[in-house]
Structure 1
Amino acid sequence: MASAPTPLRTALIGLSSSATTSWASAAHLPGLLSPIGREKLPITALLNSSVKAAQSAIATYQLSPETKAYGSPEDLANDPDVDLVICNTRVDKHFATILPSVKKGKDVFVEWPIAANLEDVETLVREAGKSGSRVAVGLQRRWAPPAVKLREIIKAGVDGKKLGKILSVDVRAYGGTNDRDIVPEGLAYFLDRKVGGNVVVIGNGHLFDTVLSVVGDLEPGAVSSKLQLQRPDVRVRDPSTNEIIKTVQSDVPDLVSLHGTLKHSSATLSYLFRRGQPFPGTPALTWTINFEHGEIRLVSPSGLNLELGEPVTIHVHWFDSDEVEEVKWEWNAEQTAIPPSARNVINTLVAFADRKAPGDGWVSLEDAANRARLIEGFLAEWEKSRKDA
């Protein structure tokens, strides 16, 4: 019998004790401090903007006093007692904070988006190829239970009854931010294209990746995109006072419309994402997959995160009987002990720690880079059309 993989001694980048928003504390820390996290991914170091900031986070989150505090990506990369580096900083800091560890050949998990621009993404791909660094990217929503259930239905049907070939896919999504023309102060960077983190690549990007992971990739050259900036003047709100403190001119699209052909089924994909709230009473996400013998409809009432908010529902309409059947999905018992925002993350990290193959619970850098190239292509086309107008 093969022995269990050696635990990965883990360093967290960006676990802040003072940040306005902290994905590290909300989505990573709960899983890492769970029994399976402690067993497979023990936290041994933090990297923050300074050693003092790292020490403050160690104290705030009551981590082991033996946890090392770093203020330099190079110093962290040179620590032989760190096997895995997990990056949770703002996207424009990803490249600088993980590059030294990638060059050293360490395992790295970087949240999506990979980096602020394609040039940095391509550099990371090259350097990982040279050093042998395993790099996972945080597109973990592919393994949210509703997405897993959809793949099961497509492959095996429901109770052995199959739906046949996919003919078309339709996605209508709203969100990315809570409001169509207001953002909280901590997310004002969403309005600045050069930062690299915005609703097109984050809220829309996660959903778009999940959809393609279920129905299959697009045929190269067989996709047309139309992006639009409908509301360029966006108000910024101070969450502490709820007052509008300034208005910023955005250079990031707030509507994405795509039409394409799926590579393996020749089915048509129609995809629409709009930032902000939908029409009252309209779900945040309605996703239908039309087959020869029936149709699946997934509805997420309150958000694009399939694991958060009001429960996602999945129904199948059988054409022969005209019956509509609800298909249930669920978290396993181990997952329910962890907050919903952290469940997909720890699942991915455990798959990575268990040395599973890319695509088996985690997304490789090469795979994620292809998705980044696709989305950046849509943005580049939009930017060119604006200049030509």
Structure 2
Amino acid sequence: MAPTRVGFLGLSKSGWAPGAHLPYLKSSPDYEIVAVCNSSVQSAQEAIKLYGLADSTKAYGDPEELAKDKNVDLVVCSVRVDRHLPTISPALRAGKDVYVEWPLGKNLTEAKELLRLKNENGVKNAIVGLQARQAPIVKTIKELVDSGRIGKVLSSTWTSQAAQGGESTVLGYEYMGQRSVGGNLVTIHFGHAVDYVQYVLGYGFPTPPKTLLANRRPTITLLDRGGKVLDANYKKDTDDTIFLHGTLSTGIPLSISLRGGKPFKDLPGLDWRIYGEKGEIHVTAAGPFLQIGYEGMKVEVFDNGKDVVESVDFEGKEGFGELGRAARNVAAVYKLVREEAEEEAVAAIVQFYNKHR
């Protein structure tokens, strides 16, 4: 099967795209970057040169032109969330497969519009980057729950600090304090967390959960990359305190608490407990982003009957140890998409053979 030909939207000089997407796309024989679309043709050309992409890689400055490129099978979008609608709409209208970072849109209206375009134009694969489901640590926790290791799950509490949303922010991340942009602690940090928690424990709430959101730091300090104060009274209108309490479709009571700022000194930034009839699963990490991962993450199981705690190994199970931590779970998503495409291709060949033999 020929490589999937990728058109990349937003291949910047730094940030998430080169750190999380590029390593696997460049190393895998299953994918080939054939086009880059940045804010200008010149910017795209610079990215192609910077990352050593093939000389044949097309450079675009307009998403409409990228969408018209017949050599592009999959459009990957890694731009700020408030630019998702204008940048991937052309690809969806052209019927191309799309992989877009989470959140899908800057608000519910935009997300619904992108879903409409996907459905109306017959797009087969439309992937949103909630890659925690591929993370070895999350898969391991789910396996422990599903295996009955702690018996029937009675309740779960998830508590974390976001690092962002504290007393200051760095230039380049100030948009997280602007509700109009759509990328903030609620949509990004909480959004990823509530997805992987439900992946483990069960999706959906039969009745709406009780929620509380508050902006407790409406004024923060804006710093440059070197720590110099740019604005001591930067106005923020996004929430930095998020509570959710409800019962999942599986009957499990769930409590989630997320706040901005640093964790307590020498304590983990994430403490997730899953309490069962036979014992308890305890997950700790430096922060909430299990979809990326941190050094020193732990999964421990307490056996009530034996009165012992066992550490559970999960490292190295993803098979992408040669990649940086941010790229591993993204690579797993790409691998899964490719495997499903290959299965569909084989099924089509079998169907054709059966029809014409």
- One fold, TM greater than 0.5? yes
Map 1:306-345 → 2, pairs under 5 A = 306=290, 307-332=292-317, 334-345=319-330
SS in 1 for 2:315: coil
Q: What are the ranges of 5 or more consecutive residues in structure 1 without an aligned counterpart? A: 358-389
Where does residue 171 of structure 1 map in the other structure? 158
CA distance in 2, matches of 1:100, 1:276: 38
Map 1:1-389 → 2, pairs under 5 A = 5-17=1-13, 21-34=14-27, 37=28, 39-133=29-123, 134-157=125-148, 162-177=149-164, 180-239=166-225, 241-246=226-231, 247-264=233-250, 266-300=251-285, 302-306=286-290, 307-332=292-317, 334-355=319-340
SS in 2 for 1:44: strand
- Alignment check: 8 A CA contact 1:176 1:202 kept: no
SS in 2 for 1:25: helix
CA distance in 1, matches of 2:224, 2:147: 49
Deviation of 1:7 after TM superposition, in Å, equals 2.3
CA distance in 2, matches of 1:243, 1:260: 43
CA distance in 2, matches of 1:57, 1:97: 18
Deviation of 1:356 after TM superposition, in Å, equals 6.0
Identity %: 37
Tell me the amino acid that sits aligned with residue 279 of structure 2: G
- Displaced runs of 4 or more, over 3 A: none
CA distance in 1, matches of 2:303, 2:341: 37
Which stretch of the first structure deviates more once superposed, 306-315 or 40-49? Answer: 306-315
The count of corresponding residues between Structure 1 and Structure 2 is: 339
SS in 2 for 1:102: helix
CA distance in 2, matches of 1:352, 1:237: 40
- Alignment check: 8 A CA contact 1:12 1:87 kept: yes
Which structure has the higher relative contact order (CA within 8 Å, separation 6+)?
Answer: 1
Tell me the amino acid that sits aligned with residue 69 of structure 2: D
SS in 1 for 2:247: strand
CA distance in 2, matches of 1:232, 1:356: 47
Tell me the amino acid that sits aligned with residue 147 of structure 1: V
Tell me the amino acid that sits aligned with residue 8 of structure 1: T
Taking only aligned residues, the RMSD between alpha carbons, in angstroms, comes to 1.5
CA distance in 2, matches of 1:354, 1:236: 45
Which stretch of the first structure deviates more once superposed, 62-71 or 277-286? Answer: 277-286
SS in 1 for 2:243: strand
Change beyond 3 A, Cα 1:356–1:170 = farther
CA distance in 1, matches of 2:55, 2:12: 17
Change beyond 3 A, Cα 1:327–1:333 = closer
Deviation of 1:305 after TM superposition, in Å, equals 2.5
Change beyond 3 A, Cα 1:333–1:195 = closer
- Alignment check: 8 A CA contact 2:37 2:61 kept: yes
Tell me the amino acid that sits aligned with residue 202 of structure 2: G
- Alignment check: 8 A CA contact 1:176 1:203 kept: no
Q: What are the ranges of 5 or more consecutive residues in structure 2 without an aligned counterpart? A: 343-357
Tell me the amino acid that sits aligned with residue 120 of structure 2: K
CA distance in 1, matches of 2:2, 2:144: 35
CA distance in 1, matches of 2:71, 2:34: 8
CA distance in 2, matches of 1:6, 1:166: 45
CA distance in 1, matches of 2:85, 2:138: 29
CA distance in 2, matches of 1:218, 1:123: 22
- Alignment check: 8 A CA contact 2:135 2:318 kept: no
